[in-house]
A and B are shown apart, each in its own frame.
Chain A
Amino acid sequence: MNLLLILLSVILVNNMVLSRFLGICPFLGVSKKVETAMGMSIAVTFVMAIASVMSWLVQTFLLVPLKIEFMQTIAFILVIAGLVQFVEMVIKKTSPTLYQALGVYLPLITTNCAVLGIAILSIGSNYNLLETLVNGIGGGISFTLAIVLFAGVRERLETAPIPKALQGFPIAMIAASLFSIAFLGFQGLIK
């Protein structure tokens, strides 16, 4: 029950992108087509799940015993960057098709703050390993939900008659903020 709550909370109530405003960069950058948005979000979900577990291990067995929790951010960045590199190599070798599908998105995730964010948030909420894993997967799903929905909207914006001053990024920003306001409606769903 607790796990389900965590999942719902991270997907809807505290949506990574639309409520916590993490990962805005790929949210705006890679949301021009639903197809590429899907590829990006699958890669993000994948990395988020592994990264949150890895960073939990580093936190629990390295940083806490040594009393250097203040190095959390740097340590996590290190873990995530190394992890993404490693995952990329493994995927390239073992599954060329998956590598082709994720393609350029994998290295991009190294700099995705949503991945770092979910790791730090999990630690901050004192989750155990299983909860951290669920939170990581949930974070990925919440990112997927936001970016794929948004990509759908932007695809329709392409053909919409938009005033010249608002064409391109301005209207995307407005759409994103309306999205965020809509997701405010989930506040209070879970206390």
Chain B
Amino acid sequence: MNINGILWPVLTLGGLAILFGIILAYASKKFAVEVNPKTAEVRDALPSANCGGCGFAGCDAFAEAVVSGKAAITGCPVGGAPLAVKLGEIMGVTADATEKHVARVICCGDSNNAKEKYEYQGITDCKAAEALAGGSKSCRYGCTGLGTCVKACPFDAIHVINGVAVVDEEKCTACKKCIAVCPKNIIELVPTSKEVRVLCKNQEKGKDVMQSCKVGCIACQKCVKACKFDAIVFENNLARIDYSKCVNCMMCAEACPTKTIYANFNNRKKAFVHDDKCIGCTICSKHCNFEAIEGELKGKHKVLEDKCVGCSKCYEKCPKDAIEMR
């Protein structure tokens, strides 16, 4: 066997590879282009999904835009709040509005509740249906349920269930793509922590709403009276929750006769007083709007579970941190 037949190729190719390696190593020094070290740092912190949710062509472009000040550090929908904090450290600015938001579809008129005014047989696209007398549902403010937002969502976080689009809040990254494509403008970004939502956009008078949908807002204003925190604003025959004031007490959802205001009552918290910390100052019971805390001055306080709605007011006011929300 001729050993040269193996030796020469190995030597030649190995030699070529080493030669190219040396040339490239030299070239990378010689032709090095100075990049802002911050860009590299920002780029490393990004999730590398390259989804374009930020509006730039991938993570590289976003990193450059952040460093040059063209993009906000909160611009990445995938990384969300934790990433914004990290980018804030790199860029030396503090992140504002870092609370996580999710998209919510403001309509609950599914096939059981909303009446159809005609049978739509066109292409499955909300914009096309919208052009035909505002969609097949008799409520012209409601979700057409044809899933243009479903197609737009890069994270599989929105699905049409029984004729109405519903957002999967676990998966939603608040990239706003669904908001941009919805012809009805019924998708909104809401702070994730806010449980209660008014699921109707219909601005017509109560009687007209009732004719087209069983779960529409009929402008009865019962929620306004039920809210002890002035968090419900009434305009254009429609209740709207002021989320800066809403405390998740869910009283409006209880009062709503048409169940247009939705809240997951399983997530309702209850206040609990730790006896070892309570000094009997009565501050909590004074601030409770629902008379759900009993107890004498200097005595231990107790929360009446059936009356407590989990508004957290007592929790905020207790000077001894004796109250826990759970």
Write the nearest CB–CB distance from A90 to chain B, whole angstroms.
6
Residue tally, chain A, CB below 8 Å to B: 21
Q: Given A63, A66, A82, A96, which contacts B23 in the complex, CB threshold below 8 Å?
A: A82
Does B20 sit within 8 A of A, measured CB to CB?
A: yes
Q: With A and B bound together, what is the CA distance between A79 and B24 in angstroms?
A: 12
One of A15-23, A40-48, A67-75, A118-126 at the interface: A67-75
Does A184 sit within 8 A of B, measured CB to CB?
A: no
Q: With A and B bound together, what is the CA distance between A74 and B16 in angstroms?
A: 11
Does A178 sit within 8 A of B, measured CB to CB?
A: no
Question: When the two chains form their complex, are residues B8 and A92 in contact, meaning their CB atoms are under 8 A apart?
Answer: no
Known contacts A89-B27, A89-B28; is-contact A82 B33 (Cβ 8 Å): no
Does A149 sit within 8 A of B, measured CB to CB?
A: no
Does B131 sit within 8 A of A, measured CB to CB?
A: no
Q: How many residue pairs bridge A and B at CB < 8 Å? A: 46
Q: Given B12, B17, B32, B33, which contacts A68 in the complex, CB threshold below 8 Å?
A: B12
Does A187 sit within 8 A of B, measured CB to CB?
A: no
Q: With A and B bound together, what is the CA distance between A71 and B28 in angstroms?
A: 28
Q: Interface of chain B, helix or strand or loop or mixed? A: helix
Question: When the two chains form their complex, are residues B16 and A58 in contact, meaning their CB atoms are under 8 A apart?
Answer: yes
Does B118 sit within 8 A of A, measured CB to CB?
A: no
Q: Interface of chain A, helix or strand or loop or mixed? A: helix
Question: When the two chains form their complex, are residues A62 and B20 in contact, meaning their CB atoms are under 8 A apart?
Answer: no
Question: When the two chains form their complex, are residues B28 and A78 in contact, meaning their CB atoms are under 8 A apart?
Answer: no
Known contacts A82-B24, A85-B24; is-contact A93 B33 (Cβ 8 Å): yes
Question: When the two chains form their complex, are residues A68 and B9 in contact, meaning their CB atoms are under 8 A apart?
Answer: yes
Q: With A and B bound together, what is the CA distance between A139 and B121 in angstroms?
A: 51
Does A169 sit within 8 A of B, measured CB to CB?
A: no
Contact residues on B (Cβ < 8 Å of other chain), bracket: 10 to 19
B17 partner residues in chain A, CB cutoff 8 A: 78
Does B1 sit within 8 A of A, measured CB to CB?
A: no
Proximity bits, B1-21, A CB within 8 Å = 1, else 0: 000000011001100110010
Does A86 sit within 8 A of B, measured CB to CB?
A: yes
B9 partner residues in chain A, CB cutoff 8 A: 68, 70-71
Among residues of B, the one whose C-beta sits closest to the C-beta of A85 is B24
B23 partner residues in chain A, CB cutoff 8 A: 82, 86
Q: Give the residues from 24 to 69 in chain B that come closer than 8 angstroms, CB to CB, to chain A.
A: 24, 27-28, 30-33
Known contacts A68-B8, A68-B9, A93-B33; is-contact A75 B16 (Cβ 8 Å): yes
Proximity bits, A158-181, B CB within 8 Å = 1, else 0: 000000000000000000000000
Q: With A and B bound together, what is the CA distance between A82 and B13 in angstroms?
A: 13
Q: With A and B bound together, what is the CA distance between A63 and B31 in angstroms?
A: 30
Write the nearest CB–CB distance from B214 to chain A, whole angstroms.
36
A96 partner residues in chain B, CB cutoff 8 A: 33
Q: Given A67, A78, A86, A90, which contacts B16 in the complex, CB threshold below 8 Å?
A: A78
Q: With A and B bound together, what is the CA distance between A14 and B23 in angstroms?
A: 35
Question: When the two chains form their complex, are residues A86 and B12 in contact, meaning their CB atoms are under 8 A apart?
Answer: no
**5 A–B contacts, CB within 8 A, in A order:** A74-B13, A75-B12, A75-B16, A78-B17, A93-B33
Q: Please give the residue numbers on chain B whose beta carbons come within 8 Å of chain A beta carbons, in ascending order.
A: 8-9, 12-13, 16-17, 20, 23-24, 27-28, 30-33
